[in-house]
Structure 1
Amino acid sequence: MTNETTKARTMTVGEALVELLAENGVEVVFGIPGVHTVELYRGLAASPIRHVTPRHEQGAGFMADGYARVSGKPGVALVITGPGLTNTLTAMAQARQDSIPILVISGVNRRDSLGHGRGLLHELPDQQALVKTVALYTHTLLNPDDLGAVVDRAFAVLGSGRPGPVHIEIPTDVMSAPVTLPPTLRTAQATRPRADAETLQKAAILASEARRPVILCGGGAITAEAEIGILADRIGAPVVTTVNARGMMAGSPLRVPASPSLKAVRNLLRDADLVFAFGTEMGQTDYDMYADGGFPLLDRLIRIDIDAMQLARGPHGLMSILSGARMAAAGITSFLPETAAEGGVQRAQATRKAAMKELTAKMRAEIAVVDAIYATLPAATIVGDSTQAVYAGNLYCDAPRARSWFNSATGFGALGYAPPAAVGAAVAAAEEPVICLVGDGGIQFSLAEIGSAADIGAQVIFLVWNNNGYQEIETYMRDNGITPEGVKPGAPDFLKTAEAYGLPARRLAHVDELPAALREASTRKGPSLIEIHETRTAGATA
């Protein structure tokens, strides 16, 4: 896409920023305007970019995150200096941990005040230094003429290496300064690392010699689903998906939609004579959820990742390949015979059965609720918070497609993520329902974002899993001989709260009512709320 005119144009930095965002494919921004950002809004209303207003800047960041996960494009948040940005830091940290591309654009106080501590409104000692702890790239725009280069660099970072949060801050006196845009605007150019043919051929030789191969897929493998599927068929490899890759290989007999923290999956890996790991950091929240140290040492491991630093951190094995997953999978397959190998389907099937069998009856009941959602609304996306039904689904969830199951219960683990992230997801997938699966504790972190969903008519079904507090923490305390304290926060009547925002709401008497309730909610325009109460909804737990 290019924007061509006959001559250069002079406008304010704020107006130019909007044009540059649109040129780079931005269709929506999530933000709360304030005195310290109004100049960035000057050209927004007349642009093709949609603005969505959350109730809190943290919500803006989580909305950008949810939008990015569903759309596959960077989500953009626009926030004020000081508290606006610090409120967004939690969302940036979640995006950093889960490798989600979001662009945060913030204000900062005027240039001549920076670093002087003069007590200006929203002042921080060093705002950029604070953001550097979580951002892949941050820049303070001191010279208006640098705007185009800075925006270009931001989108290049977002699209080239391992994704994550990027930040641009613009001093208030720069926002209204004049800047000249060239006659032709061009989108930023992203480049991804690519392994050489010799390296890929070596990996293919190892794959052809393997008799019990397995493939591990993390969130970085989502865009390579087709290529990894072909590779898996060729070598007869079960494909184990982590939380952020869940839904990949949906329907394939080689899929293993179960956590590597489960014994059944670990046994599969322990028995493997070659393991490919595509786009996964192999972190604790996926591979050692219970911190028992039982994940096997994989000596015959080939890691493929877009991030050289991640490969350097380990674990190490036979090979480390710096490459995008799609190019690597396709390249390795090109050196393999076109006939499919046998044995992988039987190993995958046995692992699926064994993984489900080792789960508790309570977990299976919770997974049945997740299954019921997908069976009723196959096109739905489930956006989860840190709540018990989500924990169970992270252990085993046979999602119908990639990007249809994601949550904050891994990595950074932020509570209150799901309501705003579900709104962002609904903006990206306006034609399909989004299910916000959240606990009574987590939803109170961001309860007001129900209002944001109502404002824009987002088709989000808030499915509240109410267990009267932080039951997961209470159980953990009891299991470790600690008298529970602080785990019973009071909650409002969620039905009345929803109704106060204009949302239709109901509490299920029996979990069997869920499919009908979901179908009814999905036919409405705008959001709604359904509550499953562990003691007041029969069948919610085993």
Structure 2
Amino acid sequence: MSDSQKPDSRKTVGETLIDLLEANGVEVVFGIPGVHTVELYRGLAGSNIRHITPRHEQGAGFMADGYARVSGKPGVCLVITGPGLTNIITPMAQAFQDSVPMLVISGVNARATLGHGRGRLHELPDQRGMMATLALMSHTLHNPEDLPAVMDRAFAILGSGRPGPVHIEIPTDVMAMKISAPHLKPAAKTRPRADADTIEKAATRCLAAQKPVILVGGGAVDASEKILALAERLDAPLVTTTNARGAFSKSPLSVPASPSLKSVRELIAASDLVLAFGTQMGQTDYDMYADNGFPALKNLIRIDIDPAQLARGPDAALSILSSAENAVTDLLAATGAGNRPQTSGAERAETTRQAAWAELTPKMQVEIGIIEKIRDTLPGAIIVGDSTQAVYAGNLYYEAGRPYGWFNAATGYGALGYGPPAAIGAAIAEPDAPVICITGDGGFQFTLAEIGAAKDVGANVIFLVWNNDGYQEIETYMVENGIEPEGVKPSAPDFLKVAEAFGLPAKRLAHVDELAVALMAFRGHDGPSLIEIHQTGTVGATV
């Protein structure tokens, strides 16, 4: 048989892309196919990868975000060039701020057309340059044979350092080109680890401390069991940021309250050692009210996977470049096997919890009580929030019942409309867990159409609409600052009729006491459902 008669064992770039995604453990992709990406779909139907179709590329990105947080795997999106990519920029920015691993694979116009500005469909002046401003890596695949190496680099970045969004764009003329089948293997991942001398210095400070406290951010949740063991050894209260809530829910050392609160700051200021794991120490967690009241820390040991983050401050007595898992493993070994004498850590934590609760307004306490009712009614629940007043209250004080049981977009980038699609992604990642999305009547309308995506995939999400007839948080802020409210009363649809239109069961609560029964009823339903709490129309929803 001549060479021309031999069957072609090569695959297209699109087919090989799917093979490489599978080799790196990808089980789900989120995307909306278009003319500029159909060749990337050529091998998808025959693979083991599940495709989820949102109603908007913004929904795809937020679904990928929620999926990644709960599954621990990168959220992967396929989007078209131009508007598909610009639509997903907001979720990528949210993922960047919250350190969520996201791989966005987009099309781009044919190589010969790039940079000429000749009015091609979906053309941007410099698409890759635009994405490079917010992606950890942005690469244009000019040479089809480079695909395996580019994918290897992408997954190495996603799994080694501080997570975030990665972007790969494939020109339309490259997608259908055939290349030799690569050796399929997962990308190598290497997480930083501190040297023994640095760990010894940290251990010496830990053992000398009489009143230590530990700050834990979202980047350290995967190491929570070992961090708890270290906290018990040092008898140190554990202060968790929004993205770490629930990591220590059964521990008397847990302080599930914001470092923006005066009482939590007093706990931290009175400590003789502050050990910070995987926390950005950014404004939305540590200085929510922008009062510059977070205390200066004289004996801060800061552990972070990102050297740039360590350099940004606050100033630390000792900065440790390491993953949280590696650092706490080494600190446990270096601090010895036995527990130190108790230094009233649990008492300090309890005092702070009580003082933090007392700082909250009665309205906030009511809202948190409703969130706690959800947690207690549905053990193991994942509560995904949007930027709405009840969620803001929960970020100030709420103990989730499990790790990754509380996250939202009311910190960091703060994108409205995040909650509904992110909750769908969470339900896809963990289909047996109860998932509740708390969203406002205003924010829900940003991504309301994603109810259809939830219905399509049978996502077990209970959409809890907290209806306060507009953007009440902003209206209150305007009034408090002497500004006549304007633009804060967008009309809302009848959410129960919207649910009915999509075939979802729904209930509007007359009294908050009906919540537990409604939650249990919809928990037994296969697929999404909706509950509405009206801040003034539902008795008990506010003071």
Output one character per residue of 1:314-373: Cα deviation in whole Å (capped at 9) or x when no partner.
Answer: 111210000000111121121213332311111111111111111010000000011000
Classify the secondary structure of the residue corresponding to 2:105.
strand
What SS does the corresponding residue of 2:59 show, helix, strand or coil?
helix
Distance 1:247 1:355 in 2: 17
- 1:8 to partner: Cα distance: 10
Could you tell me the percent identity over the aligned residues? 67
Query: Offset of 1:410 from its aligned partner?
Result: 0.2
Alignment correspondent of 1:453:
454
Distance in 2 separating the partners of 1:228 and 1:326: 9
* TM-score, reference length from structure 2: 0.98
Please give the alpha-carbon distance, in whole angstroms, between the structure 1 residues aligned to 2:242 and 2:9: 47
Q: CA deviation at 1:9?
A: 4.0
Distance 1:129 1:246 in 2: 36
Contact 2:381 2:401 in 1 (8 A): no
1:248-263 equivalences under 5 Å are 248-263=247-262
Query: How far apart, CA to CA, are the structure 1 residues paired with 2:381 and 2:268?
Result: 31
Q: Match of 1:510? A: 511
- Counterpart CA distance in 2 for 1:317 and 1:248 is 25
Aligned-partner SS, 1:281 = coil
Shift of 1:291: 0.5
What amino acid is the match of 1:278? F
Root-mean-square deviation over aligned CA pairs: 1.0
State the 1:30 CA deviation. 0.3
Q: Which amino acid aligns with 1:30?
A: F
Q: In structure 1, the residue corresponding to 2:10 is in which secondary structure? A: strand
Q: Counterparts of 1:80 and 1:313 in 2: how far apart (Å)?
A: 36
User: What's the counterpart of residue 327 of structure 1?
Assistant: 326
Match of 1:372 in 2: 373
Q: Please tell me whether residue 230 in structure 1 is matched to residue 229 in structure 2.
A: yes
1:3 matched residue in structure 2: none
Does the alignment pair 1:292 with 2:295? no
**Residues 422-479 of structure 1 deviation map (CA, whole Å, 9 limit, x = unaligned):** 1111100111221010000000000000010001111000000000000000000000
- The residue correspondences of 1:142-541 to structure 2 (distance < 5 A) are 142-182=142-182, 184-341=183-340, 342=342, 343-541=344-542
Deviation at 1:228, TM superposition (A): 0.6
Equivalent AA in structure 2 for residue 465 of structure 1: W
8 Å contact from structure 2 (residues 269, 295) kept in 1:
yes
Tell me the SS of whatever aligns to 1:211: coil
Amino acid at match of 1:485: E
CA distance in structure 1 between the partners assigned to 2:9 and 2:446 by the alignment: 45
CA contact (8 A) 2:302 2:310 kept: yes
Q: How far, CA to CA, are the matches of 1:398 and 1:421 in structure 2?
A: 20
d(CA) in 2 for partners of 1:357 and 1:523? 36
Q: Which amino acid aligns with 2:506?
A: A
Deviations 1:11-64 (A, max 9, x none): 100000000000100000000000000000001001000000000000000000
Deviations 1:92-146 (A, max 9, x none): 0000000000000000000000000010000000000111111000100000000
Contact 1:243–1:406 (8 Å) recurs in 2: yes
**Structure 2 residue matching 1:464: 3-state secondary structure:** strand
Q: How much has 1:250 moved relative to structure 2? A: 1.4
Match of 1:78 in 2: 78
Q: Whole-Å Cα distance in 2 between the matches of residues 420 and 193 of structure 1?
A: 33
Structure 2 residue matching 1:285: 3-state secondary structure: helix
Task: Tell me which residue corresponds to 2:104.
Answer: 104
Deviation string 1:272-292 (CA, Å, 9 cap, x unpaired) is 000001001100000000001
Q: Deviations over 1:484-518 (max 9, x none)?
A: 00000000000001110111111000011100000
Q: Distance in 2 between matches of 1:40 and 1:62?
A: 21
Unmatched tracts of structure 2, length 5 or more:
1-6
CA displacement 1:145-167 (0-9 Å, x = unmatched): 00000000000000000000000
1:235-270 Cα offsets, whole Å, 9 max, x none, are 110000000111111110111000000111000001
The alignment partner of 2:170 has SS state of strand
Residue pair 2:437, 2:463 contacting (<8 A) in 1 also: yes
1:66 is paired with a residue of what secondary structure? Answer: helix
What is the TM-score with the length of structure 1 in the denominator? 0.98
**Kept in 1: contact 2:212–2:272 (CA 8 A):** yes
Could you tell me which residue of structure 2 aligns to residue 54 of structure 1? 54
Letter in 2 for 1:126: D
> Aligned in 2, Cα 1:35/1:352: closer, same or farther, shift over 3 Å?
same
Kindly provide the amino acid, as one letter, of the partner of residue 516 in structure 2: P
Kept in 2, the 8 Å contact 1:8–1:180? The answer is no
Matches of 1:332 and 1:46, distance apart in 2: 47
Q: State the 4+ residue runs in structure 1 displaced beyond 4 angstroms.
A: none
